[in-house]
A and B are shown apart, each in its own frame.
Chain A
């Protein structure tokens, strides 16, 4: 047993850590209060009154629904693509040693390591050079590219913990490659893939920088929000949408955490 178990922290450290955590969380909590305010024109605090009428107004706004539908469709397709590509890449990198292995992992991480604006403008100029018009698929192309890395990270961590001898045992017992994948490999990596998929979905659902370059006139939820932030039309509706977005991204993150928490490598670390 380590000797530092029972000690309690010095008061100054406790206060500094608590202040830091409050700094991280209070602004997000504030969003929940503002969703109920009766004030329409300014950001005045404290709210002059509380109301739920803006939820009904938001519910009846077709532009919000269109943005939400586009965001969900883009996130679903990008996640599906990222799941396939990320798993393949993780399987190849973790199960075998080959020349250029380091380069492959760098290639996967690069889209998220470089600032989003570089990915965005690179894609846009490539579309312009190749005369590709903006469409649903240009958004998906960008999103899938940077979603691969979260699936890859989760799958690699799980492959590392899965012993290779299980695959050999399965083959020894007469299963062919496909049966081994279906009955041995897949059940082992399923929760990691699910967690990676959740995170990829959340990442795509929230992405704004790359999307501004690949969307053209289409509006995803973040683009809609950005538009409202720059040229506000109806502030209470923005407040409500902001709160819904917080809730929608919160759930996949919590789920991903519970799916992978037994492992040494946990899902979200390093966005």
Chain B
């Protein structure tokens, strides 16, 4: 090829243009980025919109139907009667029990999570930091049912906890606790105490992560300044650390609270025969065939979480997520 020939042609691109259909589409997307954006968004939005939002609306719609008490058939006319049924004493009891449990679980998870999160955020460095991270992440991602099963093994009457307490000569303590009303029972695996422990265990990692994220942002010299100014460790915790960690705790509590409100498997496997919201939903839609009431029951956690999220947002919890 002569120099003249090269000069007469336009400079070639590094990669040859592909031309044809592909090239045409490529050019089109470059000139009309909106079109590309639309094409990218369409599949996920259609999927989530139809499958998920569509199903949620179907559920919401059914909560306004009612069930005919004699025939057991669903009456497809708009009514608020099903929501009225929620306020029967038995159903209010279920809601109150679930909310109390969720609140207690959240508190306990915060107390147990704080030292782990604080140590990981302030003292763990390098290899230890990675170890702490995996130490929280592995239980978080371990199988949910296996974790519950492990606690069934631990809390069983013949299980490891009874054995351990017997070795320590502390069996009287367990028996005393189990003879208490409400929290007690035949064994820990059929008591509210058992349900409570398993809830705390299963949701604990969800609390540790956001609290740790919030504590990472507290500069260490703030704590030092506080003790230089004469505060005791307790005062430093109350007046400096705790307020700064609070958004993280609230962020974690969103998970622990919401997950406890909706769970139906833990109280079914480890707990008493008294129902939680999740179990009520499950039995209403399954054996009782009362889908409208089940649908109305699911609206309760949605509404509670709505208020909760609104409050959390005002406390700045979303920045800590």
Cβ-based interface call for A187 (8 A): no
- A21 in complex: contacting residue of B135, B142, B158, B291, CB < 8 Å: B135
Within 1-49 of B, Cβ neighbours of A (below 8 Å) are at 13-18, 22-23, 25-27, 29-30, 33, 36-37, 40-41, 43-45, 47-49
- A28 in complex: contacting residue of B59, B142, B220, B282, CB < 8 Å: B142
Q: Are A126 and B154 in contact (CB under 8 A)?
A: no
Cβ-based interface call for A270 (8 A): yes
Q: Are A27 and B151 in contact (CB under 8 A)?
A: yes
Q: Within the assembled complex, what's the spacing in Å between the Cα atoms of A197 and B120?
A: 28
- B122 in complex: contacting residue of A4, A25, A34, A171, CB < 8 Å: A4
Chain A residue nearest to B268 (CB atoms) is A230
Q: Within the assembled complex, what's the spacing in Å between the Cα atoms of A179 and B18?
A: 9
Q: With contacts A107-B53, A126-B59, A229-B269 known, is A13 near B118, CB below 8 A? A: yes
Query: Which residue of A3, A28, A126 has the most chain B CB atoms within 10 A of its CB atom?
Result: A126
Cβ-based interface call for A50 (8 A): no
- B149 in complex: contacting residue of A177, A238, A261, CB < 8 Å: A238
Q: Within the assembled complex, what's the spacing in Å between the Cα atoms of A24 and B220?
A: 27
Contact with A along B278-297 (1 / 0, CB 8 A): 10011001000001001100
Q: Are A28 and B139 in contact (CB under 8 A)?
A: yes
Which residues of chain A come closer than 8 Å to B301, judged between CB atoms? 115, 118
Instruction: Give the interface residue-count category, chain A.
Output: 35 or more
Q: Are A122 and B123 in contact (CB under 8 A)?
A: no
Q: Are A43 and B152 in contact (CB under 8 A)?
A: yes
Cβ-based interface call for A61 (8 A): no
Q: Are A123 and B55 in contact (CB under 8 A)?
A: yes
Q: Within the assembled complex, what's the spacing in Å between the Cα atoms of A226 and B144?
A: 11
Q: How far is the CB of A47 from chain B (nearest CB, A)?
A: 10
Which residues of chain B come closer than 8 Å to A92, judged between CB atoms? 37, 40-41
Which residues of chain A come closer than 8 Å to B33, judged between CB atoms? 96
Cβ-based interface call for B316 (8 A): no
Q: Within the assembled complex, what's the spacing in Å between the Cα atoms of A129 and B132?
A: 47
Q: Are A122 and B59 in contact (CB under 8 A)?
A: yes
Within 112-130 of A, Cβ neighbours of B (below 8 Å) are at 113-119, 121-126, 128-129
Q: How far is the CB of A130 from chain B (nearest CB, A)?
A: 8
Which residues of chain A come closer than 8 Å to B37, judged between CB atoms? 92, 96, 98
Contact with B along A40-62 (1 / 0, CB 8 A): 00111110000000000000000
Query: Which residue of A5, A96, A238, A268 has the most chain B CB atoms within 10 A of its CB atom?
Result: A268
Q: Are B48 and A108 in contact (CB under 8 A)?
A: yes
Q: Are B148 and A4 in contact (CB under 8 A)?
A: no
Cβ-based interface call for B229 (8 A): no
Q: Are A117 and B282 in contact (CB under 8 A)?
A: yes
Cβ-based interface call for A148 (8 A): yes
Which residues of chain A come closer than 8 Å to B44, judged between CB atoms? 85-86, 88-89, 104, 108, 148
Which residues of chain A come closer than 8 Å to B269, judged between CB atoms? 229-230
Within 144-197 of B, Cβ neighbours of A (below 8 Å) are at 144-154, 156, 158-160, 162-163
Select the stretch in A158-166, A188-196, A202-210 that faces chain B: A202-210
Q: With contacts A121-B285, A208-B145 known, is A24 near B305, CB below 8 A? A: no
> DSSP majority for the B interface?
helix
Q: Are A28 and B45 in contact (CB under 8 A)?
A: no
Contact with A along B194-213 (1 / 0, CB 8 A): 00000001001110010000
Select the stretch in B78-86, B87-95, B108-116 that faces chain A: B108-116
Contact with B along A241-271 (1 / 0, CB 8 A): 0100110011001100100010000101111
Q: How far is the CB of B168 from chain A (nearest CB, A)?
A: 14
Q: Are A141 and B51 in contact (CB under 8 A)?
A: yes
- B305 in complex: contacting residue of A89, A114, A178, CB < 8 Å: A114
Cβ-based interface call for A111 (8 A): yes
Cβ-based interface call for B315 (8 A): no
Q: Within the assembled complex, what's the spacing in Å between the Cα atoms of A86 and B273?
A: 41
Contact with A along B221-234 (1 / 0, CB 8 A): 10110000000010
Cβ-based interface call for A233 (8 A): no
Cβ-based interface call for B261 (8 A): yes
Q: Are B153 and A30 in contact (CB under 8 A)?
A: yes
Which residues of chain B come closer than 8 Å to A257, judged between CB atoms? 133-134, 137
Q: Within the assembled complex, what's the spacing in Å between the Cα atoms of A10 and B302?
A: 42
Q: How far is the CB of B195 from chain A (nearest CB, A)?
A: 14
Q: Are A44 and B158 in contact (CB under 8 A)?
A: yes
Q: Are A30 and B150 in contact (CB under 8 A)?
A: yes
- A208 in complex: contacting residue of B22, B48, B144, B302, CB < 8 Å: B144
- B14 in complex: contacting residue of A43, A174, A178, CB < 8 Å: A174
Chain A residue nearest to B205 (CB atoms) is A24
Which residues of chain A come closer than 8 Å to B139, judged between CB atoms? 24-25, 28
Given contacts A13-B115, A45-B158, A208-B145, 12 further A-B contacts (CB under 8 A): A9-B122, A9-B123, A28-B150, A30-B153, A46-B160, A113-B258, A115-B278, A122-B298, A148-B48, A222-B145, A229-B152, A269-B209
Could you pull out 21 A-B pairs where Cβ atoms are within 8 angstroms? A14-B119, A17-B118, A25-B139, A42-B158, A44-B158, A45-B163, A46-B163, A91-B40, A92-B40, A104-B45, A107-B48, A113-B258, A121-B298, A122-B298, A145-B52, A148-B48, A176-B23, A177-B29, A229-B148, A245-B143, A270-B321
